[in-house]
Structure 1
Amino acid sequence: MTDASPARPLPNPGWGPLSALPGNPLMWVLILSEVVVFTAFFALYAWQRAGDVAGFNAAQQNLDPLMGGLNTLVLLTSGLCVALAVEAISAGGRRRARQWLAASMGLGVLFCVIKLVEYAGKFSAGITPETHLFFGYYYGLTAFHFAHVLFGLGLLALVSWRTSTENVETAAAFWHMVDLIWILLYPLVYLLR
């Protein structure tokens, strides 16, 4: 006699809690790893700063917090455009989503231009990563963030071409991580005394 009980389907392991997040779960793994890396850099910066507060403060006086603030406004507005692209694609507005993505990319490029102008000003004044440990961190942290902005711009361009809800949500998640890192980086490097 054979067992006639119906076969139960195998459980779908999915991605656990990651499956509830918007976009591709692998992007969230990347985002989490990038946040961990930036957190380590921020902790190292804070530790080094605590050892030479006067030197870091004196070096920091050479930065323009208004330039950094302008870049904050530009990047956050770009993040708003990405959020509006997600809203548009969720409502079935592929064309509108692409327009918001284009606006976001334009602002991302503006962020890069402002940052390059700032770098050029520092280098023309003779301020390099070797000038003081603070500038080693300034250039290192902001250039690492800059690389993430460039990657994000490439991702947004790809998503503009291959527009779908999951693709837009995935790119938006990465772009918002770029925003978050800058929101932490700006006060840490430009404002904290």
Structure 2
Amino acid sequence: MKKMNHTKYAILGILTTGCNTGYAIKQLIDQSLNHFWKISYGQIYPTLKKLVADGLATVQVIPQEGKPDRKEYYLTTTGKLELQKWLQQPISEIPVEKNELLLKLFFSSHQSNASTIQHLEHYRDKLSESYNTYKEIEKMITSYPSNENDAQFWIFTLDYGIRTTLAAIEWCDATIQEIQNKEDLNGQTDI
């Protein structure tokens, strides 16, 4: 079965937000989607070109003095229908997360508990940074009343990130505590 190219749909969706240039699309990805959906800069322009070739978007070339021409992309009616069709389809699978910390933790009986705890503390610190970033994004979204319909769904998506991040921080704390408790019971500090 052919794997669906979700980047195509991400770009179609982004074009509904008023981000119409490759640069603006990249900015939106970096500020929001990148927290849950990775799209490399190298995927944007080929995807836009394919959307135009498939009749899902149009491109308007705007000459600029002393700079390369600016290309602005707009959804066609067919593009809007394609996005709506995709949005109505059920998800095909629950994504599997690749998580280096969990991989290391799985094999941590082969390293010292101190090293394992250090990895968990570092991961918790990174999660705390993400949480703070999400809270800043939340402030930005709620301060722009012009996109009320979109903003509601952006907040729902962001809330998922906030809740899962808080749960992961709590898991780190509990796991660290469990390792420390086990060390205390066994009277050892390292393997």
TM-score higher than 0.5 = no
TM-score by length of 1: 0.44
The structure richer in strand per residue is 2
TM-score scaled to structure 2, two decimals?
0.44
Which gives a bigger RCO, structure 1 or 2 (Cα 8 Å, sep 6+)? 1
